[in-house]
Structure 1
């Protein structure tokens, strides 16, 4: 009896001791967690995760182990741990927090639909504020129209999703259907119309229009010799503008042209913009540098002065300013139209994309990929290529596997004629030259799509454009055989004593386009321009601003019989 009592007392003491050990272990682990020592906390929570009837901390240890893993950057470990909690005890009192963390991980991984689905499982109203904040943060990162379109269709009552869809769609309106949809989103979610469909004031006409060119000419530092200057492209552009003003004045379009030297100095720009002369200007070409843009755009909105960016492809330069235009097509449009072109020109419905590390390249590649998928093309590779990794392009495209008797490659790891085309979303000569070299080695029929900027670089021999099926997006292409081009060429050479550069042509063409818009549609030409559809260019193939504030008419050119020719306009 005495021995039995000893056993009972020993067993009870052991149970208390074990319970106390669990308390101590959990308390120590929780202290490490609170101190942000997540690696040590993970190790301390680990022995407490295992289920034991004497361990009341199994679920809590699992939960904090998962959160610690997340904070250490081990998202896959955290995801597995949270899912294990749900599997073992779906009715645990902290299950809403588990679902919240799982949704966060899904969003971090780009699994937006799974994240939204997981949030729906949280029924506790106390989480509403946190859910809204998490959802807003995640959805704000989505810039793909089609993803948001599907999301809005599934979660049509969700204002956060609806607002983000409206914001992204507002920057990508390319059809009457898009505009109608945007109108419906604005009405459905009671959004401020002017933030999504900014409109210019009612227009009016003048006898004479004031046009300003706002560039860093740096006149005080210009060398007076006829040698090429550091800012020659700006000087060329301005000379083209001046020649266009003369042409417009002869046609009855009265333009008063003014040039302002910003000297690449933001304080000077602010002083210039504070003058009544610029406040009463009808149109500004510029600025040139991105860091100057915010100041000019604020001025443009406040004073209702239209601005045109001659060289940029970035919609960041115009954002939601109804008075701002890109003379060039946006990177979004270039990418989408290139995909449409390839989809209509190849029987093999697969393609590759190579692009550089810059933002413009990424935007081009992303929009090409989205539109290609929409058009039924399969993107088998989308490869970002830092300059130090350009050799990998050759590895991907031209690693031989079979040779003929003369040791020339006859087959490659990427089988000959296995894909329809390659889109090179970069003007980096190291990247596109390596793609072209690889295609030349292959000797097959893969179509390459690039940019007209490649021509000016002279990295690729002209005959290769013809033999290798290279097509270029060319919004600034001007056919030198056309009478209007010959007339412009002769006038420019007589006036300035040299042949016009591409930038001089750009200056002439942009002034001709917007000068005629001022004449036909008045100071606020926005509505008239948007209703004009395709507008013939004076030198180029033309323009279209029907649903956007960048030129959405993009010619595609190829080299044939000794000269570049337009093969299609999209």
Structure 2
């Protein structure tokens, strides 16, 4: 694994970018795609020497995993004869962004796919996308970063509003109750979640949410007094703090013999390990825009096996995200070069998930950005994946 990754790093070091797919120079019909990744080469290397011996710092892993997925996707596209030029650019290499977005660049991309790691980076790249009128597909958190009036930004990682609205709709669909309990942290620290839930409830007839404020030292009784022993309880964990969410699940587990409960959490809850005995007996549901292991199991298993051959380990979600977004949108662009933005939601090129980009408006008839409003519900019982709802 280390040798493979370090080899990729040295390649990036020697060249400001890596061209993974390069059609004949005389072929002007080929589409051009750039993939911006946070490779951190200026931090990883000093005077051409790798600084971390045989280890890989955590801050470099997302870019490396995504890069591996891009590589494998390009191999698949090449085998299918897709006419495209795909280059990978280190977002953190000095001057790389200005070199890419330049009218003197003979390989100005038709599309940019990227992984950014904070709101300023998202704004910097999306501003370039708007200036040069080149669609930018953002593959990671942060979501919108407060960006407005930029119809060239496409966000795959759905904003909190989409997640919460989807939770509200799914809870109403599952529960026969007219009022559903939402456990929130005391102090209004997750006020946005409450506002989004209330907005969603307004569009539903005879349905509302009841908020139960919990202190940091809440007791099991603070939870159980709101449960019904005669029915399945559908409740919402209204906090982005996954550790706080885990404490709620632990409390629900302690009374699971008397109360059957399914709790709908936030997308941040996916980083919690609910396999421990203290969480057993509770069904936990959370949302995500990215799924791979169930919607195309044959491809998932093939990619898993191929990755293991070269890396001797299991790939991360970022690997599958790199594969999925590269394969899907490079192929889509190659087939619909002039009409790409109008056909960006075409399902003919679907890999794992459905991405459904819809315009988000600021109320002034201007598009702030396009957002993927499709999320999936992952159901886990005793920490083990059960199904997609």
TM-score (norm 2): 0.75
- The 3-state SS of whatever aligns with 1:276 is coil
2:255 counterpart of 1:442 = yes
Deviation of 1:214 (Å): 2.3
| Alignment counterpart, residue 256 of structure 1, candidates 71, 85, 105 | 85
Is the Cα contact below 8 Å between 1:214 and 1:284 reproduced in 2?
yes
Q: Quick check: 467-476 or 414-423, which moved more? A: 414-423
Higher helix content, 1 or 2: 1
Give the C-alpha shift of residue 455 in structure 1.
3.8
Quick one: structure 1 residues 567 and 291, their matched pair in 2 at CA, closer, same or farther if it must change by over 3 Å? closer
Displacement of 1:324: 1.0
Q: Which residue in 1 is equivalent to 2:66?
A: 237
Which 5+ residue runs of structure 2 have no aligned equivalent?
Answer: 1-26, 45-50, 361-369
Q: How does 1:450-529 map to 2 (within 5 A)?
A: 450-451=265-266, 453-458=268-273, 460-461=274-275, 467-479=281-293, 482-522=297-337, 525-529=340-344
CA deviation profile, 1:316-337 (whole Å, cap 9, x unmatched): 4653322111122222211111
1:524 deviates by 5.2
Say if 1:224 and 1:547 are closer, same or farther in 2 by CA, change over 3 A: same
1:566 is aligned to: 387
Contact 2:37 2:67 in 1 (8 A): no
Distance in 1 between residues matched to 2:337 and 2:120, nearest whole Å: 30
2:135 to 295, 299, 306: 306
Q: Is the 8 A contact 1:394 1:438 kept in 2?
A: yes
Which residue, 101, 104, 112 being the options, matches 1:284?
A: 112
RMSD: 3.5
2-structure distance, mates of 1:234, 1:550: 22
Tell which has more relative contact order, 1 or 2 (C-alpha 8 A, sep 6+). Answer: 2
State the number of aligned residues.
341
Aligned partners of 1:226 and 1:257: how far apart in 2?
A: 29
Q: In structure 2, the residue corresponding to 1:566 is in which secondary structure?
A: strand
Query: Could you state the TM-score of these two structures normalised by the residue count of structure 1?
Result: 0.53
Match of 2:353 in 1: 541
CA distance in 2, matches of 1:563, 1:371: 30
Q: Distance in 1 between matches of 2:288 and 2:276?
A: 16
Shift of residue 370, structure 1, vs aligned partner? 1.8
Runs of 4+ aligned structure 1 residues displaced above 6 Å come to 356-360, 462-466
CA contact (8 A) 1:318 1:326 kept: no
Which one has a bigger Cα radius of gyration? 1
Alignment of 1:35-434 (within 5 A): 207-222=29-44, 223=51, 225-229=53-57, 230-263=59-92, 269-270=97-98, 273-274=101-102, 276-277=104-105, 280-286=108-114, 287-312=116-141, 314-316=143-145, 319-354=148-183, 362-375=191-204, 376-381=206-211, 383=213, 389-392=215-218, 394=220, 396-398=222-224, 412=225, 414-417=226-229, 420-434=233-247
Structure holding more strand per residue: 2
1:318·1:324 contact (CA, 8 Å) conserved in 2?
Answer: no
Structure 1 unpaired stretches of 5+: 1-204, 399-411
Q: Deviation of residue 516 (structure 1)?
A: 2.4
By how many angstroms is 1:441 displaced?
A: 2.8
- Give deviations 1:153-189, integer Å, cap 9, x for gaps: xxxxxxxxxxxxxxxxxxxxxxxxxxxxxxxxxxxxx
Q: Alpha-carbon deviation of 1:424?
A: 2.3
Aligned to 2:12: none
Distance, in Å, in 2 between the alignment partners of 1:360 and 1:517 is 42
